[in-house]
Structure formats: structure tokens, C-alpha cells
A and B are shown apart, each in its own frame.
Chain A
């Protein structure tokens, strides 16, 4: 079965510092990966998906099939980036269900 692991529950960084959120997955097929963000008291929002290869709000993520990883990075964190971040794996063979990682809380300190 597929699995998504986010090893860090909490990441605390200072404003302007780089931040990297780790995401590893296990899936034997071709993965489709997403990062979702949940700001305080708000709904889950799509941040980016690996197919789009876009940079949203300064965040990027590269799919590394060799390492089965999809780490999220931002070179200069801002206070408004403080939120809960979830990595998710979409498995078409499983009815396009999303398997979520446990989430990483990012706290950007001034």
C-alpha cells in the first residue's frame, strides 16, 4: 500500500531563512504528488503539484523518483508562511484517493 511520510512535525525558522519540508513516499507506480497548506482557521488549499512544476508563493518542490521524495523548499521564509503543510500522494489505481502525510507545522519567527 502507498504511504507518505513527513518526518518533521514542527519546523521553526527565522524570517528570511531557508525552509525545507521533507516528504517521502512509497508507491510502486507512477506517483502524482501534491503539497497542501492549511493556514490557521482556514481550509486546506492546494499549494502546488509536481506536474505543474510551478513556483507558488516562492515555494518549489521537485519530484525525485530515485529517492522517492518530494521535498518542499523556500529560500526565504516569511511570517505569513506559518501554517500546517501536508504532502499528499494521488494514486489513480486506488480511485484517485489522496494519501496524506502526517503534516508539518511551520513556524516562522520574526
Chain B
């Protein structure tokens, strides 16, 4: 099936530092990528929508200056958590929405990355 990778899979950082998380669609082009946050035993909460070459659209309550999103190409989006604090510790998940149907891809379907666990000390 369609593969979406995230790097790193986990990261521990000190309070005040910035952390960058990469999301790549490996075998298809993504018209749109999405960033979610998932708390333990809870559902996914959408943070922002990222389109290649344009500014990300943030959900209500998500600080755009805190969570910087860059969508450099049709296969890569990055999320940077700036000046991280312990309350930013969470599981961050990206998804990529296929733009064209392929052998293992359904168009207009979101495929999810494995997630990145961020722990801020």
C-alpha cells in the first residue's frame, strides 16, 4: 500500500529548544498533507492542513508561530515545534492525501505516517 514515513520516530529534547519532524510520501504525490496530534487513548486532533507551495491552514486554537509548517514539495512536509515546552509532549502524526490513483493508492484518500513521539523535558 501507499507509504508515508515520518522522521524521527521519537525525540527527546530540552525545554526551549526547537524540534523538526519530517513527513514524506514515498511512492505517491500528495496534493495535501495534514498534521495531527494524538493524546494517549484519544482520537486524532487535526492541527493544520499543508498544501505544497502555500501557507498552511491552522485549526482554531493551534498557534501558527509555535508549530511551523513547511511544505517544500509534493512529497515532503515538515513540522517544527518551536521553543518546545513539556505541554507540547505528544504523539504527532502526519497524513498525505493522494492526488492521483496509482497501483497501491486511492485518489483522495489520506494515508498516515507512523507518528513521532515528542517528549520535552
Contacts and interface: CB of A to CB of B under 8 A. Distances in A.
B43 A103 contact: yes
Contacts of A46: 1, 106, 109-111
Interface in B2-52: 4, 32, 34, 42-44, 46, 49
Contacts of B115: 43
Secondary structure at chain A's binding surface: helix, strand, loop or mixed? Answer: strand
Interface in B77-102: 93, 95, 97
Contacts of B114: 42-43
Chain B interface: which size bin? 20 to 34
A95 interface: yes
A44 to B, nearest CB: 4
Interface of B: 1, 4, 32, 34, 42-44, 46, 49, 57, 93, 95, 97, 106, 108-115
